[in-house]
Amino acid sequence: MKVLVFGAGPLGSLKAARLHEAGHDVHILAREQRLADLKEHGVVIQEEGNDEEEVAHVPVVESFEPDDDYDLVLIVMGEHQAVHILDTLAVNEHVPTFLFMGNNVRGPDEMVQALGKERVMLGFPYPGGKREGNVMRVLPINEDNRWTIPIGEVDGTIRPRTRQVAAVLEDMRGYDVEVRTDMENWLKYHVALLMSGLVPALYAADTSMKRLGETRDLQVLAVRATKEALRGLRTTGYAPSPPVVRVFEYIPEPICVWAIGWLMRKEYAKISVEGHARDGRDEMRYLFDGLRSILDETAVETEAIDQLAPYYDPETPSYPEGKRELSMQWGGFAGPVIGIGALALVLRRLRSKSGRDSAIERRFGKIYYEVGGPEDATAVVFTHGFALDRETWREQVATLSESYRVLSWDLPGCGDSAQVSDPVRFEVAARELLDVLDEEGIDQAVLVGQSMGSLLNQYVAYHHPNRVRALVHVGGFPLHEGFSERTIKLMRLHPMVLKAIPEQLLYDVFGRLVARTSDAREYVRRVSARTGKENMVSLERGLIEDIGDGIPELTDVPQLVVVGEHEYFPIRKKAKEWNERLPDSEYATVPEAGHLANHDNPTAFNEILSRFLKSLDESTSG
């Protein structure tokens, strides 16, 4: 693929070097001294902690012309710079895709207006870096220490173009790619996490991590400001992205302050935060002003943000070093208990650093799926509910992929698989799943299913017991004697009801019925629209027949039955009865969650699931 990298700083240079190494026809655009450095020395990359330099002789261009013909243009720069080159980009009508990779808080509207929605994508480059003369110093990035780049379309869809761009970026050594359907929100929350509190606190400490680490009151203000910003974005209607960031609002202040102190001692922060803040003060101020304009539309109190905001001005005197007068709040008796576990999850996800075995999207036959984690570990397979997709399990996959072999898939007729297949009965879907497991060399797995996914997993466990280690049910009910014949007859009216409801109303009602939190409801609306009304009707018809057929007897593998605290009473009642009849089963309730409990409250659900999986491993080893 012919690629132009527009932006010759540390991260743009790194992308150009790695794409060039992968065999793509890459050019990098540079001007003035950077142009001279590239022509004389090439792209020189030095990973932190490594004395060796990596040199790539990437062709250099001085301008972007109206008749230039590239398949992909990467704009690797901040929003404050990118908006100033839109006119230059717009005069070229040949380039099909401009991928803007950098901090962005105001959204893609200006890019879309200048270039058209069909030509704009959003992303974030990772990892941190800084320039030292002609050498670009970056955090370690190699096959043993890979990073995950998030990318996505501005409207949240996933198209063939989206996958093509992801495949190109994954050709870079040391990188994985995560295709997101909420990239605009992801970028807003990324800005909020840094620009509301940490960056101005760093400026207040003379842009010194060491001094910030020794001034506890600045750390407290940074924590409070960040919580205010997250609360403000959520109040405005921007769903937390990734969803786990919402947990930060509830982590007690002392734990957050300890985490900032830990961060101060990491070279990761030294390069990616301190270095970037020092060299990019104009960008930081631009991003903060954009964030502030959003927060000003809310009624959320911003006392801490107001105290730190003046430090974006370099003329503001520094904050007193070592000051420790502010008292910290634990936030209730349960705070210390849930805070430590929640913080660990937040830190792991926010760093967006991919492990050696991070999840990779694949296709086998007509099934799209993702697989990752150590190949020799216990396999955990996630199956979504009615009309949803594998994104249902994003937080579970992220949490478990460090210790387990995780696989999540889109059932035929749902999500990405809806593009290439129609809904099918359990018999065919089970065969499709087993074929995928065979393809990945997974002989036996723990099957985790939500609602309809639970039913399908029970079918698999009964008909193919040697392939199932255990079952986990989320909002599920027994396929064995699940409903009376009269109830099944009434359920056969459901497809006619679905057909009669207008499409947009159907997706909105479905979101409200299935999920409890606003971000989970938005996810359900979005993904059910991707599955489509026609597929939903067909899926419902097949599901009713499969429930009617059922299975002859209960499965006897170890099982975990999970329901949301606010699950519908008939399902909650049936789940309790089911758990009592199962020979080897546990029952658990997820607080503040409904039918889609793992998505409504991923932190609590992950703790329940992790305990169950750990007990399975211990029983096997024992």
Q: Which residues of 388-406 are buried (b: 16+ CB within 10 A; e: fewer)?
A: bbbbbbbbbbbbbbbbbbb
Q: 161, exposed or middle or buried, with CB in 10 Å at 0-12, 13-18, 19+? A: middle
User: What pLDDT does 163 receive?
Assistant: 85
User: What pLDDT does 275 receive?
Assistant: 67
Q: Which residues of 188-221 are buried (b: 16+ CB within 10 A; e: fewer)?
A: bbbbbbbbbbbbbbbbbbebbbebbbbbbbbbbb
- In sequence order, what are the beta bridge partners of 473? 449, 561
**Domains detected in the chain:** 2-179 (3.40.50.720), 187-350 (no CATH), 362-621 (3.40.50.1820)
Measured CA distances, 385 to 107, 490, 515, 533, 577 (Å): 31, 21, 12, 15, 21
pTM, rounded to two decimals: 0.63
Contact 474, 396 (CB under 8 A): no
Q: Alpha-carbon distance 233 to 189, whole Å?
A: 8
User: What pLDDT does 581 receive?
Assistant: 93
Q: Alpha-carbon distance 38 to 66, whole Å?
A: 24
334 DSSP 8-state letter: T
Token pair listed for 333: 């008796």
User: What pLDDT does 140 receive?
Assistant: 83
Residue 472: strand, helix, or coil = strand
Measured CA distances, 169 to 33, 269, 352 (Å): 28, 25, 16
User: What pLDDT does 351 receive?
Assistant: 45
**Which residues contact residue 422 at a Cβ distance below 8 angstroms, ignoring those fewer than 6 apart?**
412, 413, 535, 538
Residue 473: strand, helix, or coil = strand
Measured between alpha carbons, how far apart are the two ends of the chain, in Å?
Answer: 53
Maximum CA extent, the chain: 81
Q: Alpha-carbon distance 405 to 448, whole Å?
A: 13
Over the chain (622 residues), the average pLDDT of each successive run of 10 is 94 96 96 94 89 94 96 94 95 96 94 96 89 88 82 86 91 90 92 94 91 91 95 90 79 84 62 71 94 94 96 95 88 46 48 46 86 91 96 90 92 89 94 95 97 97 96 95 76 86 92 90 91 93 92 93 95 94 95 94 93 89 60
Token pair listed for 146: 């890979």
User: What pLDDT does 416 receive?
Assistant: 86
Q: What does the CA dihedral 240, 241, 245, 250 come to, rounded to 10 degrees? A: 10
**Which residues contact residue 341 at a Cβ distance below 8 angstroms, ignoring those fewer than 6 apart?**
603, 607
Nearest to 226 by CA among 288, 165, 318: 288
411 DSSP 8-state letter: P
User: What pLDDT does 619 receive?
Assistant: 81
Q: Alpha-carbon distance 268 to 348, whole Å?
A: 13
Which segments of 550-596 are extended strands (E)? Answer: 559-564, 585-590
Q: Alpha-carbon distance 213 to 219, whole Å?
A: 7
Measured CA distances, 239 to 242, 353, 356, 378, 606 (Å): 9, 22, 29, 33, 20
Q: Alpha-carbon distance 606 to 345, whole Å?
A: 10
Look at phi and psi of residue 284 and say left if phi exceeds 0, alpha if psi is from -120 to 50, else beta: alpha
Q: 172, exposed or middle or buried, with CB in 10 Å at 0-12, 13-18, 19+? A: buried
244 DSSP 8-state letter: G
Quote the radius of gyration of the chain (alpha carbons, Å).
25
User: What pLDDT does 356 receive?
Assistant: 36
User: What pLDDT does 271 receive?
Assistant: 58
